[in-house]
Amino acid sequence: MTKPFRILVINPGSTSTKVALFENEKEVFTVSISHSEKELRQFRRISDQYALRVKVIKQVLKENSIDLKMIDGVVGRGGLLRPISGGTYRVSEGMLEDLRKAERGEHACNLGGLIAHEIGQEVGVPSFIVDSVVVDEMEAVARISGMPEIERRSIFHALNQRAVARKAAQELGKRYEEVNLIVAHLGGGISVGCHAKGRVVDVNNAFDGDGPFAPERAGGLPAGQLVELCFSGMWTEAELKRRLVGEAGMVAYLGTNDMRKTREMVAAEDEKAKSVYEAMAYQVDKEIGSCAAVLKGDVDGIVLSGGLAHDEEFIEMVRERVGWIARVFVYPGEKEMEALALGALRVLRDEEEARMY
């Protein structure tokens, strides 16, 4: 029996770092390390935090008797790089430079590649990132918005979308590169992607506008009314952006982004909650229908994932309108750590060639 590949997975968040050890497909250790506000406040930029986080990660691994010399690779969450195709990338000097500069945005995910490289270099194993949020495989026709000054962008839950798409393809008895799928990530933000033979050829920008509204985000809005709001004097630019991403959607209508509380309101016959709850499912359905048109009706499956996929009633509302298009697959939650590990594993097994940034 061949020795299993041992892969260390690093997933940095704003105030925590998730760490896991996988032996092939199996997770054998996981921990979420919390970082205090005081700890992080000393750093001017997010990229400056990486040495501290590396130190804490090593300490936790040592306390749990995990020898870094036994690992075969390290993989980190992908950051805000320039637009790239999907897949597993080796961490390179050019990537490290872009992650440090953070010209496309300061976010904790930028630490993933930095930390993976630091640990990988120390123990002499390769370091990777997998399916960063900036994965951009959109067709040229999908980029045209209607105004030359505005180009549609691809910013979505690429890691989870592509991971669950691979699962659905496997259930269909095919490779991901052989099927056409519509994948909806249903979380604090909602992204719906058209996966055509292994490429996400169109997807709504789930970060700063476009697509269905979500528990925390406004989604696509009537342009004229939004312009009027911008010049109403009610908010500054920063305040309005925060309202669109973080204080809109369910939060704005019902005062909560917790779908469990929303479900309680619906169960209590709260008419406003019922109408907003249904409207969110309705908008997801519309986006899925648009993707079916992009794929010219040649759809092998519809995949629903993310935290909202735990809500059976919400999923049934979505299924009711789109179930006629294709078979519906439901994979609740986010499997980010597993998706990162599997991306590195495919390369270590020579099943996929690592891409260069």
138-158 pLDDT, tens digit per residue, is 999 999 999 999 999 898 999
Model confidence at 105: pLDDT above 90: no
212-234 pLDDT, tens digit per residue, is 999 999 999 999 999 999 999 99
pTM of the predicted protein model: 0.88
Model confidence at 2: pLDDT above 80: no
Give yes or no for a contact between 159 and 330, defined as CB atoms under 8 angstroms apart: no
If pLDDT is split at 50, 70 and 90, which confidence band does 335 have?
confident
pLDDT at position 5, please? 97
154-193 pLDDT, tens digit per residue, is 989 999 999 999 999 999 999 999 999 999 999 989 999 9
Q: How far from chain centre, in Å, is Cα 351?
A: 23
The C-alpha angle 77, 83, 86, rounded to 5 degrees, equals 60
Give yes or no for a contact between 185 and 291, defined as CB atoms under 8 angstroms apart: no
pLDDT at position 13, please? 86
Model confidence at 315: pLDDT above 60: yes
pLDDT at position 15, please? 83
Q: Which of 139, 138, 140, 165 is nearest to 154 (CA)?
A: 138
Q: What is the per-residue DSSP string for 44-86?
A: SSGGGGHHHHHHHHHHHHHHTT--GGG-SEEEEE--S-S-B-S
pLDDT at position 134, please? 87
Model confidence at 83: pLDDT above 60: yes
Model confidence at 47: pLDDT above 90: no
Instruction: Look at domain 174-333 and name its CATH class.
Output: alpha beta
Please provide the CATH number assigned to the domain covering 6-136+337-348: 3.30.420.40
Model confidence at 249: pLDDT above 80: yes
- Decide: helix, strand or coil at residue 130: strand
C-alpha span between 169 and 171 (Å, rounded): 5
Decide whether 6-136+337-348 matches 174-333 in CATH topology.
yes
- Decide: helix, strand or coil at residue 143: helix
- Stretch 90-97: mean pLDDT, rounded? 96
C-alpha span between 58 and 35 (Å, rounded): 14
Beta bridge partners of 192: 184
Give yes or no for a contact between 60 and 31, defined as CB atoms under 8 angstroms apart: yes
The tokens describing 306, both together, are 């993310």
pLDDT at position 207, please? 78
pLDDT at position 78, please? 92
- Edge to edge, the sheet with strand 199-203 lists 199-203, 190-196, 180-186, 301-306, 328-332
Domain parsing of the chain, residue ranges: 6-136+337-348, 174-333
pLDDT at position 1, please? 56
